[in-house]
Chain A
Amino acid sequence: AQTIHQWPVAEIKAVGSPLSLGCTIKGKSSPNLYWYWQATGGTLQQLFYSITVGQVESVVQLNLSASRPKDDQFILSTEKLLLSHSGFYLCAWSLWGGVIETLYFGSGTRLTVL
């Protein structure tokens, strides 16, 4: 069975500090990987997606970056947090069959920037 593990569960960080969020998918080879973000009161926005190791596409510019160092790992990071980065971050995976049919989400990371 496939599992998706996201870490940390929650973070409280200061403005200007660095951030690293991670996501690991087990039981599925070469998945498509995604980072989604939801600001308080907002909708889920796709930030990045990756269809293979080493390749990441940015969808929305939020002064964040993402990397896929391994087939099963997706990292979201920034060197300098902004207040506007607060929110709920979700990692997700899907299989690419010509069209996204189903996204499988992790449990998310709640980020508070003070």
Chain B
Amino acid sequence: GDSVTQKEGLVTLTEGLPVMLNCTYQTIYSNAFLFWYVHYLNESPRLLLKSSTDNKRTEHQGFHATLHKSSSSFHLQKSSAQLSDSALYYCALSPRGRALIFGTGTTVSVSP
């Protein structure tokens, strides 16, 4: 069945260092959408990035991700972490458009 895997449950890093959150997925549908949602404490989860185009880099708010269908991956990256990036990050898959399937989420904790 369709699934999303986020291997890291918690990522701790120092401000200024690069961030990479892994996301791999499984689906038989070739036109699936992949998303990154971010959930800051005491706020609602909101969309950070989305893509359905193979090998195209998508960027928003300093984060970027490239969908690689050959490896079923959609890793989230940022060149330099900020304290305000501390949050819970979800990778999600929409295989057929009716439902989003979320990964287990990765908590990012950035310290000075």
Contact = CB atoms under 8 A, between A and B. Distances in A.
Asked if A pairs with B, the answer is yes
Interface of A: 4, 42-46, 49, 59, 90, 98-108
A100 B47 contact: no
Contacts of A4: 44
B25 interface: no
Contacts of A106: 44
A106 B40 CA distance: 13
B90 A44 contact: yes
Contact of A46 (B47, B97, B100): B100
B102 A44 contact: yes
B47 A49 contact: no
Interface residues of B, number: 23
Interface of B: 31, 33, 37, 43-47, 50, 52, 90, 92, 94, 96-105
B44 A100 contact: no
Contacts of B44: 4, 90, 104-108
A101 to B, nearest CB: 7
A41 to B, nearest CB: 8
Contact of A49 (B96, B98, B102, B104): B98
Contacts of A90: 44-45
Contact of A99 (B92, B97, B105): B97
